[in-house]
């Protein structure tokens, strides 16, 4: 059972996850365009992960008797000056996602909706990992600068593959 306010909040988050997916797909396109195929692969995996997040919200809302409603998704940015600028934007974006998830978790407490609280626990843990993995790349980019290390990092990031979590 979802209150109207909770259903709206969950729908807003589902749509924000789709925006996140589009943002990372746009970064994948940008990296392909500038010849950094490993960075593009990493972002493509991130895109798939965000769509997985969106579908979790979609299925939960409908499963809880609500109505998952797709809304208008804003166009993401298309180009970034440097790989570091893109990953810094990604980190800021993830911090924003964490804050939004926390707001919904607070609403669940306020409404004593424990089922939503349990549903959101997975996302609360997931956001710790999301911030950590982006932050790790930001740190590496700061270390390597624009030199040859960038191409080694590109090779490293190109090994990322998205595997849907089994605990989801
Ligand atoms: Fe779905 Fe990266 O948060």
Q: What is the CATH number of the domain that holds 143?
A: 1.20.1260.10
Domain total of the chain: 1
Within a domain: 75: no
Tens-place pLDDT, residues 103-160: 999 999 999 999 999 999 999 999 999 999 999 999 999 999 877 899 999 999 999 9
Say how many Å lie between the CA of residue 148 and the centre of ligand 1: 30
Please classify residue 55 by burial: count the beta carbons closer than 10 Å to its beta carbon, then call 0-12 exposed, 13-18 middle and 19+ buried.
middle
Within a domain: 55: yes
pLDDT band (50, 70, 90) for residue 168 = low
* Residue 85: predicted pLDDT: 98
Within a domain: 166: no
Say how many Å lie between the CA of residue 11 and the centre of ligand 1: 15
Within a domain: 15: yes
Within a domain: 164: no
Say how many Å lie between the CA of residue 130 and the centre of ligand 1: 7
Atom of ligand 1 nearest to the CA of 49: 1
The residue whose CA is least distant from atom 1 of ligand 1 is 50
Which residue range(s) make up the domain with 125?
A: 4-70+80-157
- Check if the beta carbon of residue 69 is closer than 8 Å to that of residue 53: no
The pTM score is: 0.96
């Amino acid at each position: 059972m979802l209150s109207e306010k909770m259903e709206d909040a969950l729908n807003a988050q589902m749509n924000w996850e789709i925006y996140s997916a589009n943002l990372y797909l746009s970064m994948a396109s940008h990296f392909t365009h500038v010849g950094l195929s490993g960075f593009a692969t990493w972002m493509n995996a991130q895109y798939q992960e965000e769509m997985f997040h969106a579908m979790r919200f979609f299925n939960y809302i409908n499963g809880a008797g609500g109505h998952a409603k797709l809304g208008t998704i804003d166009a993401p940015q298309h180009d970034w000056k440097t790989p570091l600028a893109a990953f810094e934007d990604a980190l800021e974006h993830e911090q924003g996602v964490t804050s939004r998830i926390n707001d919904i978790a607070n609403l669940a407490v306020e409404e004593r909706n424990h089922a939503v609280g349990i549903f959101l626990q997975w996302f609360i843990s997931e956001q710790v990992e999301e911030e950590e993995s982006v932050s790790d790349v930001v740190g590496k980019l700061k270390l390597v600068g624009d030199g040859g290390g960038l191409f080694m990092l590109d090779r490293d990031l190109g090994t990322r593959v998205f595997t849907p979590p089994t605990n989801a």
